[in-house]
Amino acid sequence: MDKYYGNVCELDIIFNFQKAYYILDELLIAGEIQESSKRDVLRRIGQQDAMEAAEFEEDGLGRLLS
């Protein structure tokens, strides 16, 4: 989580709990390790963030809030 948030603290997890759950979901499924490579997990999270940003811009919300 430090790699994603940069010096993670409790408040990062509290205010961005969806992202913390997503990171845990990438690492574990049903209590078993799904992916052990931090690099792969960070790459997948980066891809997810890029898709969310593209969807945000596509919906026009980015232009309204800018």
**Spatial distance between the Cα atoms of 5 and 14, rounded to a whole number of angstroms:** 12
Kindly give the interhelix angle for 38-58 and 17-27, rounded to the nearest 10 degrees: 140
Does domain 2-65 correspond to CATH entry 3.30.450.60? yes
Can you say whether the dihedral through the CA atoms of 8, 11, 15, 18 is positive or negative? positive
The reported pLDDT for the residue numbered 29 is 83
Query: What digits encode the pLDDT tens for the residues 5-62?
Result: 778 888 888 898 888 888 888 888 888 888 888 888 889 989 988 998 888 877 766 5
Q: pLDDT band for 65, please (50, 70, 90 cuts).
A: low
Element (H, E) at 27: helix 17-27
26 contact partners, CB below 8 Å, separation of at least 6: 34, 35, 41, 44, 45
Judged against a pLDDT cut of 70, whether residue 63 lies above it is answered with no
